[in-house]
Amino acid sequence: MALYRGISSFVLLLVALSTSPSHGFLGTEKKIKSAVFLSPKLVMNPGSVANPFLFDIDFPRGHIGLKGFDAEVVDESGNPVPLHETYLHHWVVQPYYVRKGFELSQRDMPRNHGFARQDPERNLGSRSDYILVKNGGLCRNSVRHYFGLGSETRKTSTYLPDPYAIEFDNPEERPDGYEFKWLLNIHAIDTRSVVDKSGCTECRCDLYNVTIDEYGRALRPGYNGGLYCCYDKTQCLVRSGFDNGEKTRTLYLKYTVRWVDWDTTVLPAKVYILDVTDSWERSQGSTGDSQEHYCHVEYEVKPCKANGDGCVDVKKKSLMMPFNGYIVYGVAHQHAGGIGAALYREDGEGICSSMPKYGNGDEPGNEAGYIVGMSSCYPEPVRVTNGETLTLEFNYSNTHGHTGVMGLFYILVAQQLPEPESSLPALFQAHAKSVSVLAFLAVTVVVAVIVLIAAVVYRGQNREDGYQSLSK
């Protein structure tokens, strides 16, 4: 029997070799690099708002493929800061080209990108000193960034599966005389000692005592809260008698970037951001071009008149896709009150659902009442054709009203799928196939030998035990 066990082990080894060629050559997994950075400091007081646009931030350089971008707010000691102290409304990152020797400032760059509202009097990107690098669409005139999340950032996966990555700084695409850099926008609200934490995080205008926007224009009638009321250096109402001067502190956005150096084994994926507030409507001759889209970015959820669990605000939008490709990743962005979002075809076939995770404690990443994560979906690549209509659906609980909520859906679209073993060097492929064939033949021979040996042993044991063969 020892001989039998030895041969069996050998067979198992051969089977493993024949069915599992090395995966170390596949994709980018073994090439991924990672680095952690800190943003410039944010000086915060109870009730204060910071919404800076930070240029030329620390970031991996060169022709790279981004695999993931994660972030959280930390204090001077590097400790995570809970959302019930400083609410991370959003952060967004966006690349840009800048003419060599020219330095952008907050004053030079208008704030009509990312999650910020539009300033119609200034045309972003018209200056020759800088050129914004925009995502694939659809709302490229107002939602241009590549990565961006909010309170959910700690427990939301942004990882782009192998072998895909988002390509940046291709030297063949860089304009002559320009450098490639990165912009970071952070929108943080300090809610320590405020009168109404929920109202401050939803940017209710009465709590900020705001009647004009950051450009000095009067708010439109009926606008109760949102980005127009909690812009940089505004102040939410704090409790009477509270001394702000004793609670000043310095915070940072800590962000972790994962990337690969670009090569032919990486397949590019493009970022598309869909907005449920998009005003686009199909009409004769519609192409789905970004010029046809106007995205409001935020909206108000009115409270329902009934009571109970049936109070759900459902907002839908059908949009025509301006690309051919395969959806390989998706995730939604919602605010408190959100109860899920979905993307599906016109016939109802689901593509991606993204559900919020609410905290139930006090510690960072588990703050009660806050969305601390959104589920990401990694579908089997979903084929989408140019001109096809997809439907967005965002659901919010409206037992209570909510101001300034968002309904953004991020999708990453690959133009092509990997060929089987396409990332294996040709020599290795041939070698692997040869090994598999030889191993299969060896397994066949060894199995036959084992069967023969077993038959001989069995016959011998029958004779020793006095059994007679049925053939005699």
Each residue's pLDDT tens digit, 243-269: 655 689 999 999 999 999 999 999 999
Query: What is the token pair recorded at 402?
Result: 């909510």
For the segment 122-136, the average pLDDT, to the nearest whole number, is: 71
Q: Give dist(CA 346, CA 393) in Å, integer.
A: 12
Q: With DSSP H G I counted as helix, E B as strand and the rest as coil, what are the percentages for the chain, rounded to 5? A: 15, 35, 45
- Where does 81-125 have alpha helices with state H? none
Model pLDDT, residue 117: 43
On the question of pLDDT at 442 being above 90, the answer is no
Which residues touch 167 (CB under 8 Å, ≥6 apart)? 63, 64, 65, 262, 266, 268
Q: Give dist(CA 339, CA 393) in Å, integer.
A: 11
According to DSSP, residue 112 is labeled -
pLDDT in tens, 167-198: 999 999 999 999 999 999 999 999 999 999 99
Name the more confident of 368 and 125.
368
CA angle centred on 106, ends 101 and 112, rounded to 5°: 115
On the question of pLDDT at 421 being above 80, the answer is no
β-strands 402-406, 350-354 pairing: unpaired
CA 438 to chain centre: 45
Q: Is the Cβ–Cβ distance between 47 and 194 less than 8 Å?
A: yes
Residue 297 binned pLDDT confidence (cut-offs 50, 70, 90): very high
pLDDT in tens, 306-335: 766 679 999 999 999 999 999 999 999 999
Q: Give dist(CA 160, CA 167) in Å, integer.
A: 12
Helices (H) and strands (E) in the chain, counts: 4, 23
Q: Give dist(CA 178, CA 102) in Å, integer.
A: 9
Model pLDDT, residue 310: 78
Q: Is the Cβ–Cβ distance between 138 and 323 less than 8 Å?
A: no
In sequence order, what are the beta bridge partners of 331? 410
On the question of pLDDT at 166 being above 70, the answer is yes
